[in-house]
Amino acid sequence: MIRFSRLVVVPSALAMLAGCGSAAHADAAAGKSTFTAVCAECHDVADFEGEDATAMQGTLKQMVAGTQKHKKALQLTDAQIADVVAYMTGGE
Ligand code: HEC
């Protein structure tokens, strides 16, 4: 019984983890504040509209990690990245 319920729980937990990266779980309003405070100095949000959210999250994570070069060294948490990407790609 215990084993069975574990098997049920694990895939749904994984699905949630995967889903957390998507715009559906992110807070675009919080992302807007981050973008305005940190990115707007150099970027116009409209430039990112319609871009692939998953790809952009990957890019930003690499920028934070320093494995992708970027004009400004970014310091963002994964949650901030998800939020800011939701805002940027949503084009709001
Ligand atoms: C000091 C200026 C500056 C700031 C601040 C800045 N960027 Fe950039 N960013 C650039 C420049 C310059 C480029 C490279 C030229 C371009 O693509 O516009 C770039 C490129 C990018 C790219 C495209 C990378 C690619 O692979 O094409 C993304 C995405 C990006 N920035 C996101 C952000 C986000 C998100 C923030 C805020 C958290 C931010 N940037 C803050 C200057 C800045």
The domain containing residue 28 runs over which residues? 2-90
Query: Do 75 and 33 meet the contact criterion of CB atoms below 8 Å apart?
Result: no
Distance, CA 43 to ligand 1 centroid (Å)?
7
Provide the number of structural domains found in the chain. Answer: 1
Give the model confidence (pLDDT) of 43-85 as tens digits. 999 999 999 999 999 999 999 999 999 999 999 999 999 999 9
Separation between Cα atoms, residue 8 and residue 33, nearest integer Å = 38
For the full predicted model, state whether its pTM sits above 0.85: no
Q: How far, in Å, from the CA of 44 to the mean position of ligand 1?
A: 10
Residue 35: give its domain's CATH number: 1.10.760
Both tokens assigned to 62: 């690499």
